[in-house]
Amino acid sequence: MVPATPPVPEEALAYLRAKGYRLAWHYDEVWREEHTKAFMVAKAMTQDLLIDIRHGVDKALAQGKTFARFKAELEPMLAKRGWLGRALMPDGSVVELGTPRRLKLIYDTNLRTSRATGQWARITRNKAVLPYLRYGLGPSKEHRHQHTLWEGLILPVDHPFWDTHMPPNGFGCRCRVRQLTREEVERRGGPSDAPKVTQTEWTNKRTGETMMVTEGLDPGWDYNPGKARLAGVEKQAKEKDKAFTKAVGTPDKPAPPIKPVVPSALSTLKNITGEAIGRILEQVPGAEKRLAKVAEFTQAKDIKTLIIKQAEMGSRNRAASRIREQVLDYLDEDQRRYGHNNYTITNPSRTGGFTASVFNHVVVKGNSKVKLSDNKAKQVAEELKAAVKLAVDTRESGDAPGLWTIAAKVSPEAELVATWVHELGHQVHYWAGAERAEKVAKRFLSRYSQSGISRRDYYEYHAEHFCAWLFDRDSFAKFDPGAARYFDELIEKAIRGQERKRHD
């Protein structure tokens, strides 16, 4: 089942988990950037209560739980600690604690600020290629007037406007930003003139205190949670750099692998996850170094994965419509323009997966009968390696490739993993410049890899032989040593690549 709210990226969860705790009577007692350092809930005045609420929020965001499920799981704990219903407060007032509205506010605020933090980390990583941000309104029925004035505003990533106006810009604000290339900005007429940021007087009705706040933003929201978090991380990184180098750089203490091969995945099947695909690939015999390069690529380009059912891949199917918003919320903001085309295709029964040069994700068709379990991971991994040797042996016994695909004879579990690698091979090809490699592509391990050559279409050649290179480079190199060296260089080019390209 697709979560109504897709799991947040790991960097967003790290932001939430890095916070300490802060007891506070009201939200405005913890001001601006202090929220990046401390988890607080107004009127939650005991540490145990705060820990319960934070644990519930963390679990909901990590697992993509709906608000209804978050509320249902948290309410019994809140009732046990006396934080539900009407209560007399120490200041003599009677307030409603733990109401659905308050729980919704807690859920939404933490979700949006955590996502904003993760998004800012990606914005910072990609600003050399995507140096501008465009302000956009979210899917709310009503919008704050000031926010509508910023709709379509385009400014450089490093412009000080984003120090204070990076969404969300208040309670319930669903505004967002989209990263743009220089070419996109030029097509739109160039960057905007920066709006004048003005301060206005605001009086705290609870305390009577008057202060100046940024106009158009809720008081205390005029800061960039991602930038504040990043500044703290950078400071901490500098302090730990010497110790880190010592621990990682010594030959007798090799660093454990910390980069997952599949950075993130949204799956509509509980029996197939991105983590399971990664665990299988990590056990392919002899593939460790190549797998590290693949992980470096998927992390650098923030490649996402969709694992969905066949019914959800058909553009005219109701099942596809039902997952539309969940999928678009999971993908990068600039992918929203493609709508359902991000995950639907004509004749889904005839494909195992797909991707495109305009996507930053791959789509894999799942099957409820396929279960990627840990106890079979090693067996499936060994199947993938053996598939390459079988393709080589079959090819050497005849003048033409004997198999339709390299993974034609493997189990359904191995075939699904091979499909993910095949589609990732397309992304590697796009990011490496999408050259045809006509001088290299002379020998073919599968009929599918040869299918487009007569039309000077070398995409499937790259995807199929990327699988061979990753699963069993030694067998592949014996079959075609020049091609094996070519793919060694291709992954390096892809890691350094600045944009996705096609060769047609």
**470 is a domain residue:** yes
Provide the 3-class DSSP secondary structure of residue 98.
coil
**Count of domains for the chain:** 2
What CATH number is given to the structural domain containing 407?
Answer: 3.40.390
pLDDT (0 to 100) of residue 51: 56
Q: Which residue has the higher pLDDT, 294 or 225?
A: 294
- Whether the per-residue pLDDT at 233 is higher than 90: the answer is no
| Domain of residue 314, residue span | 264-496
Higher pLDDT, 233 or 272: 272
26 located within any domain: yes
pLDDT at 47 over 50: no
Domain boundary among 123, 143, 162: 123
Residue 138 within a domain: no
Residue 197 lies in a domain: no
Tell whether 332 is covered by a domain: yes
Backbone angles phi, psi at 188, to 5 degrees: -90, 5
pLDDT value, residue 355: 97
The per-residue pLDDT for 134 is 96
Mean pLDDT taken over the chain: 80
Q: Which of 99, 123, 147 is the last residue of a domain?
A: 123
Name which of 411, 495, 477, 408 is nearest 449 in CA terms.
Answer: 408
In the predicted model, what is the mean pLDDT of residues 404-430?
Answer: 96
- What's the pLDDT score for residue 82? 60
Q: Are strands 38-39 and 20-21 parallel, antiparallel or unpaired?
A: parallel
Structural domain includes residue 37:
yes
For residue 341, tell me if it sits in a domain: yes
Residue with the larger pLDDT of the pair 153 and 256: 153
Percent of the chain with pLDDT strictly greater than 70 = 73
**320-326 long-range CB contacts below 8 Å, 24 or more apart?**
320/344, 323/2, 323/268, 326/2, 326/3, 326/4, 326/5, 326/6, 326/266
Query: Does the pLDDT value for residue 34 go beyond 60?
Result: no
Of the given ranges (170-174, 354-358, 470-474, 492-496), which has the lowest mean pLDDT?
170-174
Domain-ending residue, one of 92, 123, 154? 123
381 vs 239, which has greater pLDDT? Answer: 381
| 81-112: pLDDT as tens digits | 565 554 434 444 444 444 566 667 766 777 77
pTM for this model (two decimals): 0.54
Confidence of residue 330 (pLDDT cuts 50, 70, 90): very high
247 occurs within a structural domain: no
The mean-pLDDT minimum among 29-43, 262-276, 404-418 falls in: 29-43
Please report the DSSP string for 427-461 in residue order.
Answer: HHHHHTT----TTTTT--SSHHHHTTGGGT--HHH
Model confidence pLDDT, tens digit, residues 250-299: 445 544 545 789 989 999 998 999 999 999 999 999 999 999 999 999 99
